[in-house]
Amino acid sequence: MKPQNAPEHLQPATRTWWLSVVTRWELEPHHVKLLTLAAESWDRCQQARELIDRDGLTTETKSGGLRAHPAVRIEIDSRLAFARLVRELDLDLDAPPAAARPAPLRSIAK
């Protein structure tokens, strides 16, 4: 399966990454869904990072104490999801050499 366009809701840099993976690897339809989830996780992680950078690592509670900014949990969860999805797709391995056709993922190579 070779989708022509990356999902529009992804950030431009993430769309570029998504397209590079689709072009360089031979993906089954369910792999494309996992790739999209990985890209969304990356974007969500970056959104959380921007909130933390803007607001700080902690927020004040009603009683005047400090607690972690809610975006910290979002950042952690998104990082873990991205790392797991990349590993699930075997994208944590060396890129395939340039070839006439995309390389299959290691987990589906015959």
Per-residue pLDDT of 18-56, as tens digits, reads 999 999 888 999 999 999 999 999 999 999 999 999 999
C-beta neighbour count of 91 within 10 angstroms: 19
The whole-model pTM stands at 0.81
**CA angle (101 as vertex; 41, 12 as ends), nearest 5:** 30
Per-residue pLDDT of 62-96, as tens digits, reads 999 999 999 999 999 999 999 999 999 988 766 65
C-beta neighbour count of 26 within 10 angstroms: 16
Distance CA 23, CA 39 (A): 15
Distance CA 17, CA 97 (A): 17
Q: Which of 38, 23, 39 is nearest to 103 (CA)?
A: 23
The pairing of beta strand 25-26 with beta strand 103-104? parallel
The pairing of beta strand 58-60 with beta strand 66-68? antiparallel
**CA angle (90 as vertex; 7, 108 as ends), nearest 5:** 95
